[in-house]
């Protein structure tokens, strides 16, 4: 059988961004769910606006006429199609990329994404309240997971598969740092020794559940685990699929395969950045990271991931450079 030809840049870019947008949808649902769980009576507006700050959406939030408050933030991310980081807008972007990929993707992938997109455009205001919001977040996560499963089972394993994985892994690593950052912004423990410790652990348990890592963590956690153990699990554990460390290692493996199997020389600079990021994650004990400022460390990792995405785009995708500068 003849060797598969080099992939067109527009297809590689479409697969990369389709994966990123879908991963972003799932993780936005996770962030909304954990924000709802950490909502403090009397401080609802502050709790929900932290979600806007963590996604660096303050300017866009104000431009679209929203005021800080629980209902405004929920609408901003669950219903506002004018907000490019909202779930409907991200799904529309994923669908747009999928449309350009019709010669490559399976009918099942295309059909499920269309149905999912239509369902998210029909979210009713009452679904953003109370238990209904929790169920809505679950539906959104399951919609993305269904698409991921269909893709795993039907997509051809060529260069396109590798670019799809690059997008998913890069976005997943970024979103895990944002989930940890919500804990930094929102959680305040009550005064008192034992009460404080129990409350802290319960809240960190909420972070683990939001990351779908609670049961995996409990398999390896020592009795009387600490918040630092949870941070280490989400940052550097190489057995948990959503840990930043595992995502970075898999990014390195995918870039290495693009270079070794497909001869793509543009992987040199992205591989250098991945190695630097891995060294930053593994070079310090998590206890020292927390002492030095968890938020500042997560912010630095997010910037490194943005730089990595820009380098990948510059190396492989059409019309990337002006978009990266903008």
- Convert the pLDDT of each residue in 250-287 to its tens digit: 999 999 999 999 888 889 999 999 999 999 998 889 98
3-state secondary structure of 21: helix
Both tokens assigned to 269? 């600079």
Q: Rounded to an integer, what distance in angstroms lies between the CA atom of residue 135 and that of residue 235?
A: 28
Rounded to the nearest 5°, which phi and psi values hold at 262? -110, -5
Tens of pLDDT, residue by residue over 129-142, are: 989 999 999 999 99
pLDDT score, position 283: 87
Q: Which of 123, 115, 170, 173 is nearest to 144 (CA)?
A: 115
pLDDT score, position 322: 44
Mean pLDDT score, 14-19: 96
DSSP 35: H
pLDDT score, position 146: 98
Q: Rounded to an integer, what distance in angstroms lies between the CA atom of residue 112 and that of residue 40?
A: 37
Q: Which of 87, 275, 80, 286 is nearest to 180 (CA)?
A: 286
Q: Rounded to an integer, what distance in angstroms lies between the CA atom of residue 231 and that of residue 204?
A: 9
C-alpha separations of 156 from 72, 101, 113, 159, 220 in Å: 42, 13, 18, 9, 35
User: How many CB atoms are closer than 10 A to CB 290?
Assistant: 16
The rounded mean pLDDT for the chain is: 89
Q: State pTM to two decimals.
A: 0.90
In the block, which residue shows the tokens 């660096």? 56
Residues 22, 148: contact at Cβ < 8 Å?
yes
Q: Looking at the predicted structure, is the pLDDT value of residue 326 above 50?
A: no
Both tokens assigned to 116? 């999912």
Tens of pLDDT, residue by residue over 229-242, are: 999 999 999 999 99
Rg, Å, the chain Cα set: 20
Q: Rounded to an integer, what distance in angstroms lies between the CA atom of residue 199 and that of residue 112?
A: 41
DSSP 4: P
């Amino acid at each position: 059988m003849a060797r598969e030809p080099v992939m067109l840049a527009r297809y590689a870019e479409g697969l990369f961004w389709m994966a990123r947008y879908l991963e972003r949808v799932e993780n936005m649902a996770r962030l909304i769910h954990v924000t709802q769980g950490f909502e403090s009576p009397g401080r609802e507006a502050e709790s929900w606006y932290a979600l806007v700050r963590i996604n660096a959406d303050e300017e866009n939030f104000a431009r679209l006429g929203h005021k800080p408050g629980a209902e405004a933030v929920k609408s901003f991310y669950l219903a506002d199609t004018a907000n490019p980081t909202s779930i409907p807008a991200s799904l529309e972007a994923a669908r747009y990329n999928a449309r350009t990929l019709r010669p490559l993707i399976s009918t099942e992938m295309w059909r499920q994404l269309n149905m999912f997109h239509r369902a998210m455009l029909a979210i009713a205001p009452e679904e953003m309240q109370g238990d209904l919001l929790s169920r809505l977040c679950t539906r959104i996560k399951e919609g993305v997971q269904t698409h991921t499963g269909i893709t795993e089972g039907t997509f051809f394993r060529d260069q396109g598969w590798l670019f799809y994985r690059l997008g998913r892994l890069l976005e997943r690593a970024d979103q895990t740092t944002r989930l940890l950052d919500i804990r930094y912004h929102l959680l305040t423990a009550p005064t008192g020794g034992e009460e404080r410790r129990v409350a802290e652990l319960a809240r960190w348990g909420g972070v683990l559940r939001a990351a779908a890592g609670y049961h995996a963590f409990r398999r390896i956690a020592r009795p009387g685990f600490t918040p630092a153990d949870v941070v280490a699990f989400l940052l550097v554990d190489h057995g948990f699929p959503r840990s930043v460390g595992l995502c970075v290692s898999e990014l390195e493996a995918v870039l290495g395969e693009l270079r070794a199997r497909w001869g793509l020389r543009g992987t040199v600079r992205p591989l250098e950045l991945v190695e630097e990021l891995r060294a930053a994650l593994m070079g310090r004990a998590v206890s020292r990271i927390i002492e030095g400022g968890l938020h500042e460390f997560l912010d630095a990792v997010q910037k490194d991931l943005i730089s990595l995405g820009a380098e990948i785009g510059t190396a492989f995708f059409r019309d990337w450079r002006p978009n990266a500068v903008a």
